A and B are shown apart, each in its own frame.
Chain A
Amino acid sequence: MLQVQDVTVRAGSATLVDSASFTAESGTLTAILGPNGAGKSTLLRAVAGIERPASGTVSYDDADLLAMPRRGRARLLALVEQESATELPLTVRSVVGLGRTPHESFLGGRDPDADAAIDAALQTAGVAGFADRIVTELSGGERQRVMLARALAQRPRLLVLDEPTNHLDVAAQLDVLDLLVSLAREGTTVLAALHDLTLAAAHADAVVVLSRGRVVASGATAATLTPELVRDVFGVEAQWLDNPLTGRPLLAVRRLSG
């Protein structure tokens, strides 16, 4: 279980995240939601140990993530950034192989589990078909999935993603979210910042709603995303109904009238 307690992140005199607290159970997909600038990325980066919070704790199964040595944390937690690009003509396989870095000793060669982890990651992320292609030649969506595969190659127990559906078309978005849900069902704790309310509502087990750096609500998805909350935070009208295609709950939205 991931426990975030009173995490505050400052940059200069500005407070980007103010005393954020929430928990995420193992085996769940928790969506971090909020309008642009609410602090979703910052909060994720703090959880991942990339940004140092001014105060607060982040622990996973009672282990202090922030105090952990880097490599140890990287074996436990994998981060998929919003934007990551390279000029280097690396093959998909070698990019995914980067995910084994925290498992390799400094001077030693590849770790013994490398091949297995890389192959499994390629399969799971659905990129095994172009493992030998050059990343710079792939489409945005394909690249995103390669980065996801890289994160999976780390064999993390906690997977943190910042806007993983950003450059993807509709089908791919659904694919990624389905993949995150199935990873969660396998036991990984998945934390994803999402900007699409409906998509998040349809897939996430729990949500954490941020507004202006503060956590305004967190908990099970349907219970937390009440129409009142959605109106207050996002400035849109919302209503829960059933998706005729899937039979599962769907959050419909509409601009505020009047």
Chain B
Amino acid sequence: MKPVLVGIALAVALLASIAAAVTIGAADLAVGDVIGAIGAHLGIGTNPLDTLRDGIVWELRLPRVLTAAAVGAGLAISGAVMQAITRNQLADPYLLGLSSGASLGAVSVLLLGVAVLLPVAAFAGALAALAVTLGLAGAIGRITPTRTVLAGVAVSSLAGAITSFVIFWTATGDSYREILSWLLGSLAGARWPAVAIAGIALIVVGIPIVLSGRVLDAFAFGDTTAASLGVPVQGARWILLTGTALLTGAMVSVSGAIGFVGLVLPHAVRLIVGPGHRALLPLSALVGAVFLVWADTLARTVFDPRELPVGIVTALIGAPVFALLLARRRSEA
């Protein structure tokens, strides 16, 4: 299918999804009122909702939906890039210790009671874990994709162990719930600052990554071929890895480690438009955005008035889809 057509369809679907998701929620608000309220904020017409209900739409739902879109896009891009760089179709954005490092930062801050520092701590944790991973991979010799992945596994285990210890040592009954919600991934805390963090990361880091699709294609046959095609292999890998780490770190810092988006969605997109990264990256971003908007809408309404962490929904949907994709590959091989 022509990628451009798919892209346009997805972009339309994304806008429609955002518009629809904002009208859905635990509070029973009329669609027209929601649209009117948003319009009023944008300077069109008067607000039909009272301040409280307007607060629900403009301060709770809209930032949350926008953050879901940004995070979904960012994670999907990161997943696709990781799969290309490590030449491993089972890679996800968290491979290099990123989510474990972020979790350690976040959990520490939650337990110290300074939850307001959470995005900063999570981001710092992600980058620290990446630094340790790359350092470990390089300490043995030349950095290769395999070494990096293995180092990432080691760092993830270590960060995970420390996180578990910290939780065990200091958590009271109440904080277990918060920590679990963060570890599973949740958009419940997404307000306008989260939109800013995720949005800026997506624009400043995500867009350049998406434009480098061609470079990623060159990696298809390995380093030597890529080098012979004029790609600065080491430099490109470092830049892409760092970019992915920044992007993932930013997303994880606002929403915790939401799983399966970065792992499964690039595969689904590949099935439709093929593996060329020029199309794969932007389309994965769009699919990721639409997917997470709906997953989060489900998470906050299916057990209304209670809420699920969105990570549970993405896992419940993502795991069977992933199993299907694996089965397909085995039958093709």
A–B contact via C-beta, under 8 angstroms: yes
A4→B276 CA distance, assembly (Å): 37
On whether the beta carbons of B220 and A89 are closer than 8 Å, the reply is no
CB distance from B70 to the nearest CB of A (A): 23
| Interface size range of chain B in the complex | 20 to 34
Indicate the member of B89, B228, B270, B275 with the most A CB atoms within 10 Å.
B228
Q: Which of A147-179 contact B (CB under 8 A)?
A: 147, 154
On whether the beta carbons of A101 and B229 are closer than 8 Å, the reply is yes
Q: Which one of A75, A77, A85, A101 contacts B218 once the chains associate, using CB atoms below 8 Å? A: A101
On whether the beta carbons of A94 and B276 are closer than 8 Å, the reply is yes
A49→B211 CA distance, assembly (Å): 26
A91→B275 CA distance, assembly (Å): 9
B227 contact set on A, CB distance < 8 A: 49-50, 70
A49 contact set on B, CB distance < 8 A: 227-228
A61→B228 CA distance, assembly (Å): 19
Encoded as 1 (CB less than 8 Å from any B CB) or 0, chain A from 79 to 90 comes to 101001111111
**A74 at interface by CB-CB < 8 Å:** yes
B89 contact set on A, CB distance < 8 A: 87
Q: Which of B148-195 contact A (CB under 8 A)?
A: none
CB distance from A58 to the nearest CB of B (A): 14
CB distance from B239 to the nearest CB of A (A): 12
CB distance from A165 to the nearest CB of B (A): 19
Q: Check A90/B230 contact, CB under 8 A, given A84-B225, A101-B214, A107-B211.
A: no
- List 6 A-B pairs, minimum CB-CB distance, nearest first: A74-B230, A79-B228, A102-B230, A71-B230, A84-B221, A88-B275
A-B contact pairs, 15 of them (CB 8 A): A70-B227, A70-B230, A70-B232, A84-B221, A84-B222, A86-B222, A87-B87, A88-B220, A94-B276, A95-B220, A101-B214, A101-B217, A101-B230, A102-B229, A147-B221
* Chain A interface (Cβ < 8 Å from any Cβ of B): 45, 48-50, 70-75, 77-79, 81, 84-91, 94-95, 98-99, 101-102, 104, 106-107, 147, 154
